Structure 1
């Protein structure tokens, strides 16, 4: 593990589902010695702010509703403050967003599309300048009848943006033009049919990516060629212990800053899977699973030091945190706060 102490005061921001009793976007102070969270304020100015991204003192949130939107908040104070009115993404049910080259990008699950919005001088997103609508389907009829874009994430090296589509069992690669705010289709990586890829995370060396599948509890290890913009699947490994049974729906994956470990949240099992990575990042092996401290872990996040792991447990309505053993990578419970319908945690 990195072991580097966090630099300066650290704050956390928690997204939640307002329709399920969530308080909207919560801000919290983080105790440097214990990792404990203390909520300083919340705003319900945006409906269903299920996923967040932070740039300095500006926090971005999707509004995961039928006619989706993105909003920006000034988080320099104790309570997040909307900077401007939410901006339409012209897509349904945005579940994820990311920042890339002066733009906000959203993955719109309901419409199977990706949207690009420019960021203005005040940090607020402007009207959409580009995007892409996916096509295709998968073999799981009730989940894959249409494209279901679940994550959009800039890739290391070059202009590349990845879009993970649960409905089409694939990861699309786009080139983002920062001048025009448009996406150019570059390629599509097919994964095993019926796996339902949900999210991916890159190795810190930028040479590999790890795709977490939702419809089958597996992780697909891929090689990433930043020069060519090509993602190549190599192998799959389970994120459940051998013999485990019952429904499970993996949700989020994060990689240690030193590239030695990877953690995956698994709903249904209500667990955190711990996988060890080989020195090249090309092989992943399940070494342990531990309880997530609640029910239905929707999101995982490392704090800036890389020494603690935080879990947003949606259905039990809490955020739990764990100290990570530096040698084994195994998280050990350290605390929790109430956060109704918690869906996302980010740090800054």
Structure 2
């Protein structure tokens, strides 16, 4: 799941990480913007893979100016091992991160970390952490009520639900029936990647009654019944995708009636109808993420998926091809039409994010150690590179506050 690219380590060592970021910034704003007026800028957080340079040191923070499409030079907000995915509390100044490891607290698991946000600077203070219940947690989300955190374990092939205390800290997963933990079961056709379950994302339904889990290893999108107040989950249903597809990440349409899953292994996106009352998903369409003329797809895989705030467009990322795929959404049916792909001007877009205004998309180049900024044409959904790339070491998650 993790790659180890190389930059000029001697140069980085001479400058230090802060100096490296500042010296390499293209189209970025001064560090002082972190204390700027929050009415004109928003905090944006970057999760990274960590280790010796050029890898990251934890979670970074910058300010994004949506009026100008500019980003300040990121600063280290909190040291943390492999904070590969981040999620914000819906109403309070708390951020939650997975620590994607397999040895947390000397046990064969990862952890979920709770952090408090300083609204003025964006810097983070750790509150506590809890076991994720399995190795390699790679996704985290918060239910709409702000009562529970959800995480998916890739290595452990499982899901976990952790209750949130009033101060933002996390409680351990509850035992019993129902519990705060579900172990997935099964395998699929790709012997190298699907020898067992691999939970890759977990997202609450818009009404908070269900948790949707993409399990890459078993080619299923699982639906768990969620009781956020009690911080419990229980198996509710499952929908299969094509054998060998490898479902990775999931996104709901703003209307709550449609949803989309990006499939890592076969380079596709599957559209679903969602029955919110029944908590049931029905696949209705699958489209490629790569233009048909590209025949050599060795080393390619998909990663992130997001729906535009307007609901008019869907975007996905292609690693190896190093592009963002663009689709138009038919308003009534939720079906997709392929619009094309846009190069990210970097390598390995494991993640990207659309800002709250819907005018900008930021793409994380994990192996090029930078975040590229794109404008979004509101009439067509097409992306245009702004010419601005801001260095971030091994960025793998972008989250706007």
What secondary structure, in the 3-state scheme, does the structure 2 residue paired with 1:306 have? coil
CA contact under 8 A between 2:208 and 2:226: conserved in structure 1?
A: no
Task: Give 1 or 2: higher strand fraction.
Answer: 1
- TM-score normalised over the length of structure 2: 0.83
Partner of 1:3: none
Cα–Cα, structure 1 residues 345 and 146, in superposed 2: closer, same or farther, change >3 Å? same
- Choose from 168, 171, 174 the match for 1:126: 171
Trace 1:186-265 onto structure 2 (pairs within 5 A).
186-244=236-294, 245-247=296-298, 248-265=300-317
Matched, 1:280 2:332: yes
CA deviation after TM superposition for structure 1 residue 44, in Å: 4.9
Q: 1:117 aligns with which of 159, 162, 181?
A: 162
Deviations 1:253-299 (A, max 9, x none): 11111211111110010001011111224311111111012000010
TM-score, normalization: structure 1?
A: 0.95
Question: Which of 53, 57, 73 pairs up with 1:23?
Answer: 57
Which protein has the larger Cα radius of gyration, Structure 1 or Structure 2?
2
Counterpart of 1:298? Answer: 350
Q: Is the 8 A contact 1:25 1:80 kept in 2?
A: no
How far off its partner does 1:336 sit?
Answer: 1.4
How many Å apart are 1:35 and its aligned residue?
Answer: 2.1
Contact 1:310 1:320 (C-alpha < 8 Å) held by counterparts: yes
Give the one of 3, 8, 11 matched to 2:43. Answer: 11
Q: For 1:293 and 1:273, how far apart are their aligned partners in 2?
A: 14
Classify the secondary structure of the residue corresponding to 1:286.
Answer: strand
Contact 1:40 1:79 in 2 (8 A): no
3-state SS in 1 of match to 2:51: helix
Match of 1:93 in 2: 136
State the Cα deviation string for residues 221-274 of structure 1 (Å, max 9, x = none): 111000110000111111111111322211011111121111111001000101
How far the C-alpha of 1:158 sits from its partner, in A, is: 5.5
- The 1-side partners of 2:335 and 2:110 are apart by 38
Q: Contact 1:96–1:108 at 8 Å: present in 2 too? A: yes
Q: Which runs of 4+ in 1 moved over 6 A?
A: none
Query: Structure 1: where are the runs of 5+ without partners?
Result: 1-5
Asked if the contact 2:223–2:238 (Cα under 8 Å) also holds between the matched residues in 1, the reply is yes
Match of 2:369 among 317, 321, 327: 317
Contact 1:250 1:264 in 2 (8 A): yes
Q: Is the partner of 2:262 in helix, strand or coil? A: strand
Which of 335, 343, 348 is equivalent to 2:396?
A: 343
The alignment of Structure 1 onto Structure 2 pairs a total of residues equal to: 343
C-alpha displacement at 1:191, in angstroms?
A: 0.9
Alpha-carbon separation, structure 1, partners of 2:98 and 2:310? 30
CA contact (8 A) 1:70 1:86 kept: yes
The Cα of 1:40 is off from its aligned counterpart by 5.3
Corresponding residue number in structure 1 for 2:235:
185
Matches of 1:105 and 1:114 in 2, distance apart?
7
